[in-house]
Amino acid sequence: MTGDTADMLDARAAFQGAGHFGPIAEAVARALGSFSPDSAVLEIGAGTGYYLASVIDASPDSVGVALDVAKPAARRAARVHPRVASVLADAWRGLPLRDSSVEGVLCVFAPRNAAEVARVLAPGGRFVVVTPTERHLGELIEPLDMVRVDPDKDRRLAEQLAGTFSRVGHEVVEYSMPLSPDAVGQVVAMGPSAFHRSTDDPRIAALPAITPVTASVDVSTYVANG
């Protein structure tokens, strides 16, 4: 398991830096809610660290831990914010944190290890999970042969967390992004489609100046059972 490549991280950072996923970052902050000063928040599969940096920045005494299995991600997240530390680790092999040591855990488009999240979350701490809906990037999937969102994902997520967590909040965030051909190229280059096709695609260059593309994600908030 090596995770995302440096090229994928660069594309993702450029896309996030342009603000296209800003409403998702705002929803993640809403779902996490307020946490006590001096507390820590972990992001699993943090990638660029974009979502973690935005919640840590809004809470002046908090610290963040960005965990990712990919070296280019860990390097990038180490620079994302002065109060974010970066850890290179495979979430499936356990989280290198003490029991009850964090007040929040974020998992955005990334794998999650429910038992380990329950172990590291402090009592009452929140676990925020963001998954794409079937409509996410829908306008690009067929024309550009991109990897489809698995329609069974929601059911599998609920199964993975059942017994360990209860869902206490849920929001579908859906909006249209006006994307240039360059931004569409970044979308292709930053996701799983980058693994199996060239991003130097004449169909992207032939797109109009702006293509409206749907962003659609499910933001769920969980707390650990008893």
The residue ranges that bind ligand SAM (CB under 6 A) are 1, 3-4, 12, 44-48, 50, 67-70, 73, 90-92, 108-111
Give the residue with the Cβ less far from ligand SAM, 75 or 167: 75
Comparison of 25 and 144: residue with beta carbon closer to ligand SAM: 25
Nearest approach, Cβ of 163 to ligand SAM (angstroms)? 21
Asked if 115 and 164 touch (Cβ cutoff 8 Å), the reply is yes
- Pick the closer one to ligand SAM by CB: 215 or 224: 215
Work out how close the CB of 63 gets to ligand SAM at its nearest, in angstroms, rounded to a whole number. 18
> Considering beta carbons, is residue 61 or 134 the nearer one to ligand SAM?
134
Rounded to a whole number of angstroms, the minimum distance from the CB of residue 72 to ligand SAM is 8
Cβ of residue 29: shortest distance to ligand SAM, in angstroms? 14
Which lies closer to ligand SAM via its Cβ, residue 58 or residue 205?
58
Closest distance between ligand SAM and the C-beta of residue 52, in Å?
Answer: 8
